[in-house]
Every structure is written in C-alpha cells, then in structure tokens.
Structure 1
Amino acid sequence: MAVQRVLITGSAGLVGGLMRLRLRRDGRILRLLDLAEQPPAEPGEAVELVHASVTDPAATAAACAGVDAVIHLGGHSRETSWEQILDVNIHGTRTVLEAARAAGVPRVVLASSNHAVGFRRTDEAGASGLPADSTARPDTYYGVSKAAVEALGSLYHARFGMDVIVVRIGSCFPSPVDLGPRGLATWLSPDDAARLFEACLAAPSPGYRVIWGVSDNTRRIYSLAEAEALGYTSLDDAESFADLIDAPAPTGPAAHYVGGPFVTIPLGEPDPL
C-alpha cells in the first residue's frame, strides 16, 4: 500500500493540534509545519515535524517535497494589524500555493472563515442556508485576508489545474460553550472537522470548491450541501451544549450579520473576543 503524506501548516495552532490527533491513519504520514514549538512524536506516531514559517519560501518548498496533499491552516486566526495580516495570511498563503505548485502537489485544502462574508446578513440564509460560495463581504482585515486566500486558491486552480478546496470554517473549538449563543450556529466540532478534511482529501477530482466548515447544528445558517457533495457527513450538533450556555444573545449589528461581534471590533487591533 502506498504511503500518503499530508502537509499540515499551522499544526501547532488550535485546529492544527486537534487535527493532528484525528487525521492519523495507517498508511499516512503527517508532515507538521509551524513556527511554534510542537510536541515530539509519540511512540508509533507517523509525523514529521518542521519548524518553519509559511512566509519562508525555501522552507515551505522543502516541506512540500514528496507531499500528496496540503491542508493549509497556518496564519493569524483573529484580527491583528494590516502588516501582520498581509505578511502571514496573504503572502504566506501565496508562498504555500507556489511551493505546492512547484512540487507538483495535486491538492490543497485552504482554511478560510465565515469572516470572509462577515457583512452578509444572517437573514440572507434562507431555508437551505447561506450558500458556501456567497461572494465576499469581509468584516475585518482578517476577513479580507480570507477572501484573498480564496481568490489565490481559485487562481492556482485555474492557472495550474491544482485541486483546491476552500473551507469557510465557522468556529472550530472542542465545544461551543465559550462561544456563547452564536456558537450554536457556527460550531464545527473537532470530530466533524476531521470528517470534513477526510472528505476533502478523498473526493475525486473536485476542481475548485468553496464549502462551509460547520457541524449540522440545529441553529446553523450555513448550507451543508456543498460539503456533503464532497462526501462529508456531520454527526454532531451544537444544540447538545445549549443548556450550558448562559451568555446573553447578541444585540445590535452582531445579531444581524454573519460575522457577529467582528463587524464592530476596531480594524487592525487584536480583538478581545
């Protein structure tokens, strides 16, 4: 059986750490790239640790060598300065895609965010949910960077034939409790995230796709049709945590826009949320 090697960037982050535990498979090696320190391999764990930044072209090129697919999670995951967003999220994504192209990597999965469409109104969703390919309406510099990530993925598919799947992640945390009421709509459980990434890795010839990364939450406003077309099946629902959430429901703009409180935080300042 051929061994599959998957590069995960941002593997020391929250989602990356959750996926390290869940994407391990017989016949698969996880190559884990992050500038932060990472736990050493456990006995029998098939991982290759790479200490590097996604903004380093030489290191990223070396990390892409011999890889069958890339899951690009690296980058700032909250609002921060324009200079940092531009360097790490936008330039870093272009660096990863170019390294993957040069190495002949056939498939890249890009982590986007609901904040790429944060200024879309929640009442746009309709009965089937907000379509995954709704055009960008970012709510922050961070949201702008995710819209740019999506555009770069489209470019590299159209120019070079690379399969690129963009996952607009809602909120991927161990539970939605600390997210407040909004998390009951946006939550992507870690186990569902692994199921979703497995579907992205396995789907035959997906081309360029944009899908939502959320669980099948009772209160979700996002369409799952696009992800389900790739083979994803959600088994979790944030509603099972509803009784544990005692924070008040959002009011004002945060209640009416997909981006929630991100639509009002100061641009370019690390958010306190």
Structure 2
Amino acid sequence: MAALGLVLVTALAGCAAAPSPAPHPGGEVGAGLDGTVVVLAAASLTDVVGEIAGQVERAHPGLTVRTAFGASSTLAAQVAAGAPADVLVTSSAETMGLATDAVGGSPVVVATNGLQLAVPAGNPGGVTSLADLADPGLTVALCAPEVPCGDLAVQVLARAGVTPAPDTYERDVRGVLARLRLDEADAGLVYRTDVVAGADAVEGIELPEAVQVVTEHLALASPTAPRPEAAAVVVAALLGPAGRRVLADAGFGLP
C-alpha cells in the first residue's frame, strides 16, 4: 500500500487543476485541450491504458496523460477518498462501486476478461490443471482475495472444487505475473491478457468452460474530475475504434 501510494503521489505531482478550455469553434469534443489529465487504472490494464494514453496525447499535443496502476480496490478507495483523478478504470463492477458510491457517475464497460492457469515458459513444475494449485510441492502464486483477480480466482477454484495451497498472495495480477516470469512460482492464476503480456516468458493453460467466470473492466469519467472534458476524451478513446483494436490485440473481450 505504501509503495502504491508513492506511485500515485508521483503520478499526481504537478497535476494541479487547470481551467477547462473554451469550446472549440468547430464544436469538436476535447479539441484544443491542454494541461494534464490523471488516469488511475487496474494493473491488468497497464499496457493497453499506456498505449491508449499515447494515442490521446498524439491527438491532443497540448495534453499530458499521467497514469498510475495498481489493485482496483486500492485505486477505487483513493478516488472515494478524494484523490484528484480524472478517470478510473477497474477490473470489476464491485470495485468500481466503491468509487461511484462516493462520487457518483456512470461507468461504462470497456472490455471483458477471464482467468487462465499460467506457468513459466517450459512449465518446469509439470502443471496441467487447477488441481495442481493444491499441491504443496509446487510454489503457487495467487492474487489476494480482496482484489478483483483474487476474488475471481476464489470463484473459479470454488467451481472446480479445488482448495489451493498458495505460497504467496500478491496485491495485484502483475505481481503474480512477475513471480512467474522470474521463475519464482510454478503456477498461478492470472487474466488471459496477462499471459499475452508475458510473451515468451509465460505459458497459459485454458480453464474448463464449466469453471470460467467473466469479469468486466469499467471506466469512469469522475464527476469530481479536475479536468472533466479531458476525462471524457480518455474514456471515448477507450471505447473508440483505435482503443478497441488495442484491447482486442491484448486479448481482451469487447462488450
């Protein structure tokens, strides 16, 4: 939590609210934007939000998009506590509710996702199924149950009738992915998009359809955003054709 707080403080440094720009004469939403817009997003969206942020900056050369990533529940709690964020993107409706209960707003679904059983390249532990997560002889990494990827793992394992024997609980899904990429774990549950992000360092094993659970990624242009017009532009970019291509290429489902 302390480390994440430092990341957020760093991301927000110098992000004092600026006056909203005057409407563009041609009526184009977001035209002529400048200043800084702050986006907080779930760790599972690190790569795609970073790429889409770059698209927004290229389309609006005067605008800087500052991003910070972490567990959805932590970021939502920060928004609820008054963090000066313009956009929040979470990995579940439940965590988004922590923010909207406090600040209001109407989040939109930008993508869907699900879990895969993941192992280091070459599968040194010989993992073949969810049942292997109960093997005390293997090193198992899972997300903490209070964050979306951990809650999803609890649901999947319950459906499979597996009681896992985790050696580590990570604060977000990228923590599990890092353990696998560094060969510090034999197996873990991550989003299928994180298997894609892991490239050649990680292999994914698809789960049986009967145990799969789909989660939704939602984006909120915060009603309390210091830069409401810029926030709307970022959310529109996530939903637009270019943003959808980025999400699809990363393995996300599209609503």
TM over 0.5: no
Structure with greater strand share of residues: 2
Structure ID, larger Rg: 2
Give the TM-score normalised by the residue count of structure 2: 0.31
Give the TM-score normalised by the residue count of structure 1: 0.30
